[in-house]
Amino acid sequence: MTASQDVRPTVAIADPDVGEREMASVRDVLASGQLSAGETVQSFEAEFASYCGVDHGVATSNGTTALHAALEALDLGEGDTVLTTPLSFVATANAIRLVGAEPVFADVNPSTYNLDPSAVEAKIRTLDGDVDAILAVHLYGLPAPMDRLRDVADRYDVPLIEDAAQAHGAEFDGDRVGSLGDVACFSFYPTKNMTTGEGGMITTDCADVAERAAAFINHGRDDDNRHQRVGHNFRMTDLAAAIGRVQLQKLSGYVQARRENAARYTDALRDSPIRAPVEPDGYRHSYHQYTIRAEDRDDLQAHLSEYGVDSAVYYPTAIHEQPAYDDVDHEAPNAEQATEDVLSIPVHPNLTDRDRTAVATALAEYSHD
């Protein structure tokens, strides 16, 4: 019997875990009659901020609106330049454009896929120091090198922003992401390490940034019910926050399960030409994605499919090669090569032992073909 004729069930790339506790929490909100942003959102903001180790949390309608509002809160806009990575979901750069600023891209480290601080500083020098913020992404759940990026940001006296949309629960030198920059942004999309259905969160220790972000997501309204600036309705609902509060209680377990699944795969790849993801000393990967790398990526993906193992490419096109950004000067060979080689395989907490075995077997058999 060939693999394609086998009866193995498909091992999904993602499987959101929403159960009776989340449903009960939502029912409580429905029964209260307070469906839009209210006390449940406020509780979720405080609890998530505490989890990250910061003073303030501002909940939003999704990860993109969190980025948008955070940039607005830092007063970034027309004429400003924000340096970021070309290897991310396009929302990272879109948020920069949405506030009227312009993104510029520095290349990534080919092993971690995160911003390379040396490339960041080199890019800033080509701009004669004309940069107004650095926006780092903790890609796939691995924190960016925030110590070195902080050094660069401090040298040029610009804010350092975290796009932590994929890194809930990840740590750098013992501190959780969300507390490593001047402001951080999370997404609670269904496939993330925790979910609210849709939703986002801004975390910061800066009271002024939190206040401006909270006003911006509520049509620019202040505590005196006056609209001091133009804003949006980017508010989270109590229904979403009700799910999020339960998911946050489960997050540590989710991350641990992802790490255990990742360790199983890394063991299976120890003598393989397929490159496993790295976790440098001092970093704690939260494995939103377990992203491998292979020169014959398309053949590997087809092989996994025959074994009933789902997979996905994050991302097949670097941001600077998207049509919307074809006017941006760029030179990012490491990011461009990664788009040709990377492949993410199932690592979510709902994997069974049979699922993990199926994935590990498929990887091993491909490596020995």
Q: Are 161 and 184 in contact (CB under 8 A)?
A: yes
Q: Break the chain into its structural domains and give their ranges.
A: 20-246, 252-367
pLDDT digits (tens, 9 = 90+) for 302-333: 999 999 999 999 999 999 999 999 988 778 99
- Residue 8 binned pLDDT confidence (cut-offs 50, 70, 90): low
**Mean pLDDT, residues 226-245:** 93
- For residues 108-128, average pLDDT: 97
- In this prediction, residues 43-55 reach a mean pLDDT of 98
DSSP code at position 349: T
Domain covering 20-246: architecture? 3-Layer(aba) Sandwich (3.40)
- Residue whose token pair is 């090569």: 337
Share of the chain above pLDDT 70, in %: 97
Give the mean pLDDT of 118-146: 97
183 beta partners:
161
Give the Cα separation of 306 and 8 in Å (integer). 10
Residue 269 above 60 pLDDT? yes
List pLDDT tens digits, range 63-102. 999 999 999 999 999 999 999 999 999 999 999 999 999 9
Helices and strands, number each (H, E), in the chain: 11, 12
Tell me what pLDDT residue 227 has.
82
| pLDDT beyond 90 at 148 | yes
Give the pLDDT mean for 159-167.
98
Instruction: Examine the pLDDT at 7 and tell me if it is beyond 70.
Output: no
* pLDDT number for residue 225: 79
Nearest to 160 by CA among 272, 76, 45: 76
- Cα torsion 106, 111, 113, 118 to 10°: value is -20
What digits encode the pLDDT tens for the residues 274-312? 999 999 999 999 999 999 999 999 999 999 999 999 999
Under CATH, domain 252-367 is a member of which superfamily?
Aspartate Aminotransferase, domain 1 (3.90.1150.10)
- Give the pLDDT band (50/70/90) at residue 369: low
* Weakest mean pLDDT among 95-104, 148-157, 169-178, 218-227: 218-227
- Residue 201 CB neighbours (<10 A): 28
Q: Which of 239, 270, 290, 291 lies closest to 367 in space, CA to CA? A: 270
**Residue 251 burial (CB count, 10 A):** 17
**What pLDDT does 3 receive?**
46
